[in-house]
Amino acid sequence: MEGDTRIEEIAEKQKFVLQYVMNRTFGVDEDVVQVLIQDLFGESGSLSQTMNEINKNIHDYDFKLQRIQDQLDGRPTWHFQNVSGDPVSQMATPYSTSQIELMRRIIDWIMQAEEYQYSISTLQIHKHARRDMSLAPSVVETYLSAFERDGWLNHREGIWTFTNHALADMEAYLHNEYESSLYECNACRGIVTAGYVCECGYCLHVYCCKHLAYESCPNCNTSWTEATRIGRW
């Protein structure tokens, strides 16, 4: 009986960690998750062990707690991830049909952007939305505000890009739909929308490139000064 009680206690604590991450739209800093786990399990509480055990329990439901490293500064955060299906539709409980459709189109416009930009301007969104969906500017602005508020898109100086949360939740979807348009970091294996790619195809996030301090491509020895910039950052 004592063993059963202990198992139930651990399960409840893991459930609390899961719900804590699920309820944070923008993800949770890894330091915060570590403190939470130590508060629940004591100083010996292991971040990796706890997350691995939670992921084992939710794997059959096609969910996962995913660690994402910010592409620019390397800050690690944890996100609740849907690893199958269409996250654009599944994210959309509070959204109208036209909001879902605009978000789907924005994803496509960003992924199909020329010259590895992985971004789109507000002006371009308005132009495409009016042409393809007959949406008024005021409606588009309302929708964009919702997407930014809910943690799907970043907006800076008139340019829209994916958030870390969006990249985490859409990882499987982007691989399924845009595999030929994706770059993967050769250091950490994450999707790259802010980084560099060598002419040989070797690719790194901005942070990974700085952290590893490579002066030349590890694959072909070409200077990184000749690499192509990915994204707008």
For the chain, counts of helices (H) and of strands (E)? 10, 9
* Residue 6, pLDDT score: 60
* Residue 62, pLDDT score: 87
Decide if pLDDT at 194 tops 60.
Answer: yes
The DSSP string of 116-164 is: G---EEHHHHHHHHHHHH---HHHHHHHHHHHHHTTSEEEETTEEEE-H
pLDDT tens-digit map of 109-119: 999 999 999 99
Domains of the chain and CATH, by start: 2-82 (3.90.1150.220), 87-169 (1.10.10.10), 183-230 (3.30.40.10)
Pairing mode, strands 120-121 and 159-162: antiparallel
What is the arithmetic mean of pLDDT over 91-118?
90
pLDDT tens-digit map of 129-178: 999 999 999 999 999 999 999 999 999 999 999 999 899 888 888 999 99
Q: What is the pTM of this model?
A: 0.86
Query: Which helix or strand (DSSP H or E) is residue 81 part of?
Result: strand 76-82
Query: Pick the residue with more confidence: 93 or 132?
Result: 132
Confidence band for 1, pLDDT divided at 50, 70 and 90: very low
* Residue 89, pLDDT score: 64
What is the arithmetic mean of pLDDT over 179-195?
95
Percentage of the chain beyond pLDDT 90 is 77
